Amino acid sequence: MNVIVNCEFRFYQTPDGNVWTPSSFKYDFWLRYTEVFDQVTVVARINKVPEVSSDWLQANGAQVKFHALPHYIGLMGLILSLPKLIKSLKTIIHSDGLLLFRVPSQTATIATWLLKKNRPYAVEVIGDPYDVFSTGVGGKFAAPFLKIFGTSTLQKQCKNALGASYVTQFYLQNRYPPGKNTITNFYSSIMLDEAQIVAEPRIYKTKARKLVFVGSLEQMYKAPDILLESFAKLVKEDNHYQLTMIGAGQHLPSLKENSVQLNIQNNVNFVGEIKSNEVVDYLSEADLFVLPSRTEGLPRAIIEAMAQGLPCVGTKVGGIPELIPEELCVPADDANSLFTVLSKLCNNVDELTKQSALNLEKSKQYSNQFLSQKRKGFYKSLKDKYIKKYT
């Protein structure tokens, strides 16, 4: 049986037909679906290129093929590509197999509009459009409309789905509840190998002075600007503080300039984009992880940091409070509160040691072995119900 999975990530295709990714969603990500289904068809935007870059990873392979959508970028690109996009989506949603939408998603929204009433689908809820558009993404005038539209659309998708899984245990379920007869489950999409989880928690004998942040800088979802503002206060308190910022995107140049204006350029190391397997090296060298996000589902970056025994500070958004204690979650966009919590934690070796142990133990709930069983159970329930009712 085929499962048809949409993905908002953009891929590349070479003349030999192979599909490539510069970072996320490589081939082994899609193999999780093959534990239950015979074939996976990934529906995504694909850009055709003459050759593969040396650092790209293959995304297709045995049991995993791709259905190409137009490679549009942004709202205007979507509008211009809409006729071709609708034609391509109609082709794939009318083919045989279970539709599984990773939502929120522009293409999933259009696809659900095109579905006939008797065509079942399932969803994997990985984010929150309400929080995303509350940050102002989309523009001053469009953002309020997009927030209402995105939220109501996702609520309807979850309510009418054959099955719905969530990356959070409570947060997203409360805002986007499943239907009365909808199969439900929760699990993260993270792939955390046992080797990525350290054997012992850290014992802090000195104060934490090396902070690390991991997140895309393409949008300001992760609030790197708030982090720099708070970090500048820490540096004034003690010039030994160092901050490593891992991530790339259009806002990287302005953030570097911001660090100069705050006179902390010598205390901040902008690493840029690195390979996923290199992140652990930076985490292992740090004393504390910080992610002051404005919007989140369940951030894999925090879970990966916890697996390294790092104490973590975050915000009261999305599933972050499900991962770390309430006292280490500050309001979003509150630089003063972030500074206060960071300063207090960084200077308390006993609390740092305690949080290291708590986080390491919590991270084990997100190991591949643990999560794969939950995912497999959800997929099997979907497959059985689909076969029983619709074939």
User: pLDDT digit string (tens) for 94-119?
Assistant: 999 999 999 999 999 999 999 987 89
Res 235 pLDDT > 90 = yes
CATH T-level fold of 194-365: Rossmann fold (3.40.50)
The percent of residues above 70 in pLDDT, for the chain, comes to 99
pLDDT digits (tens, 9 = 90+) for 263-317: 999 999 999 988 878 899 999 999 999 999 998 888 999 999 999 999 999 999 9
Q: How far apart are CA 300 and CA 8, in angstroms?
A: 17
Res 347 pLDDT > 90 = yes
Res 137 pLDDT > 70 = no
Res 62 pLDDT > 80 = yes
Tell me what pLDDT residue 369 has.
82
pLDDT digits (tens, 9 = 90+) for 376-390: 999 999 999 999 888
pLDDT digits (tens, 9 = 90+) for 171-189: 999 999 999 999 999 998 8
- Maximum alpha-carbon separation in the chain: 66
Res 90 pLDDT > 80 = yes
Res 360 pLDDT > 90 = yes
Taking alpha carbons only, the member of 290, 286, 328, 287 closest to residue 204 is 287
State residue 115 phi and psi, 5-degree precision. Answer: -70, 145
Q: What is the dihedral of CA 179, 41, 169, 322, to 10 degrees?
A: -150
Is the domain spanning 2-191+368-390 CATH 3.40.50.2000? The answer is yes
- The whole-model pTM stands at 0.82
Tell me what pLDDT residue 55 has.
86
The average pLDDT across 190-195 equals 80
Residues of the chain with CATH 3.40.50.2000: 2-191+368-390, 194-365
DSSP E strand stretches across 24-105: 39-48, 57-58, 64-69, 98-103
Q: How far apart are CA 238 and CA 76, in angstroms?
A: 47
Both tokens assigned to 289: 């992880």
Tell me what pLDDT residue 263 has.
97
**Residues 6+ positions from 57 with CB-CB distance below 8 Å:** 20, 21, 22, 23, 26, 27
DSSP string for 123-174: EEE---HHHHHHTTTT-TTHHHHHHHHHHHHHHHHHHT-SEEEESSSSHHHH
User: If you average pLDDT over every residue of the chain, what do you get?
Assistant: 93
Both tokens assigned to 216: 């895309």
